[in-house]
Each structure stands twice: as structure tokens, then as C-alpha cells.
Homo-oligomer: A and B are copies of this chain.
Amino acid sequence: MKKKITVIKVGGKIVEERESLDNLLNRFAAIEGYKVLIHGGGRSATKMAERLGIESKMVDGRRITDLETLKVVTMVYGGLVNKSIVASLQARGINALGLTGADCNIIKAHKRPTGNVDWGYVGDVDSADGTMLSKLIEQGITPIISPLTHDGKGNMLNTNADTIAAETAKALSSIYNVTLTYCFEHTGVMRNPDDANSVIPQIDSNSYKKLLADGTISGGMIPKIENAFNALNGGVTKVIITRADAIDGTSGTHIVV
């Protein structure tokens, strides 16, 4: 039987404020067994870009990444946010290791082709190396992955953290029994965003189609759920969308195939 591993993705809002980060890290440290954390950091990147006089251009909530912006996200995601989490986890007795996709070549990507939009240094993932991650994990190391990949030609690339979480979870699923948890600001996927009690406990591909058609699921939730189905179809055992204070997986919305 495969060993269990928990892959947690947390968004920028949670990791960028000291109190919510500390709460999250306490909960993350308490998770038993193998675990991996994938983090965002978009708000910090936008703030840093602003301080440096670099305009943040977003399309559909995604950042257009010219060379100057790539430097900002590499500094902020790979340096500031990642190392703050690593040092904080070390203080909690977790032997954390901060990684970008370039480190140990764990996530290779290619520059997104220019279509209607020139995304610049934005990477679409080609492959994640579950075997290398597993070698690190089996040494007692807990990988903390920032939303950066590389193209193998010397360029770092800015890559969506939800996608990195799905691809990492898939890559690990040939070795482990993987639970992937997406943490965000709500208690789960909700029928009514104003009603905290309207969480949909379970979504499968049929109910997803209906929720999409009637507009219950829209906007930024669509790529999140598509990443969830992608992960499940790629071998991940369980995907949960929930709030950061419920990373034990007992509540939230369970996505199933």
C-alpha cells in the first residue's frame, strides 16, 4: 500500500499576513506524515512592483510578466515569501526546504506562446519530477514550493500556484496516496457567496457541468476546479477546496471524479 502524502496549496492572502500565516503554519506543522506546501504571493509581488515603479498588468487575474516583473516575482516568491515560510517552519521543528521549479529541476515549463496576449515570462508546466521530490521527502525534508518554474534554458518562469499544486500532486501520485487541498478565503465552493452555510459538500464532473451552466461556479473558481479534476484524472486520490483553518480536510468541498 502506498504511503500517504498531503499537498496543501495556500494563496497569497494567507501567507502574506503574519497572523494568518502563523495560524496556517501551526496547522500545517501538525499534519501527520509526509507533506508539501505550495504558496502564492501575488499581493506582495504587486506591492513590491509598485514600490519599484513597475506597473502590474493583469489579464483574467493572471500577471503579464515582462523581464522586470520576472525579477520582482523571483525575488518575492522565491526569496521573501518562500524563505519566511521556511524559517518559520524550521522554528516549528519541520525540516522545510524552499524550492522553485528550477531547484533540482523539479518543475520544467515552457514560455506560454503569444496568442491574443503576450504573457512574457509566464510558464506552462511540462512536467514535475515526483521521483526527485520523493527522494527529498524520504530524507525527512518538507518541500515548500513557490510559484516559479524554469525552461531548462536558463530562464525562470512565473507559473500559477494552483497549477503547480495540481502538477506536483499528480507527479507524486505514482509513489504516494495523495490528498490535495486548495485553501482559500471561503469555507468551500458555495451556492451563495454571501451564505457561509451554503458550501457544496461534493462536486463530481456531472454536477460541475450543471453548476457551471447555471452560473453558480464562475470566474476564478473555474480554473481551480479544472485543476482539481486534472489532478484527480492524473492519479491524485482526493481533492478538497476549503478554508485555511480547515486543512485537516474534514470540511470544505470534496471534488470527485
- A: which residues have CB within 8 A of B? 48, 51-52, 71, 74-80, 82-84, 86-88, 90-91, 95-100, 102-105, 132, 135, 139, 141, 148, 150, 152-156
Residues of chain B with a CB closer than 8 A to A154's CB: 87-88, 90-91
List 24 A-B pairs, Cβ < 8 Å. Answer: A74-B79, A74-B80, A74-B83, A74-B84, A75-B79, A75-B80, A77-B79, A78-B98, A79-B83, A83-B156, A84-B156, A86-B102, A87-B102, A87-B154, A90-B105, A91-B152, A95-B104, A96-B102, A97-B99, A98-B100, A98-B102, A98-B103, A132-B139, A135-B139
Q: Give CA–CA (A163, B6) in the complex, Å.
A: 38
A45 to chain B, nearest CB (A): 11
Q: Give CA–CA (A99, B76) in the complex, Å.
A: 16
Residues of chain B with a CB closer than 8 A to A76's CB: 75, 79
Does A102 contact B78, Cβ atoms closer than 8 Å?
A: no
Contacting residue for A103 out of B48, B97, B155, CB 8 A:
B97
Residues of chain B with a CB closer than 8 A to A88's CB: 154
Q: Which of A77, A82, A86 has most B Cβ within 10 Å?
A: A86
Residues of chain B with a CB closer than 8 A to A51's CB: 52
Chain multiplicity (copies) = 2
> When A75-B80, A97-B104 are in contact, do A87 and B141 touch as well, CB less than 8 Å?
no
Does A102 contact B74, Cβ atoms closer than 8 Å?
A: no
Residues of chain B with a CB closer than 8 A to A152's CB: 90-91
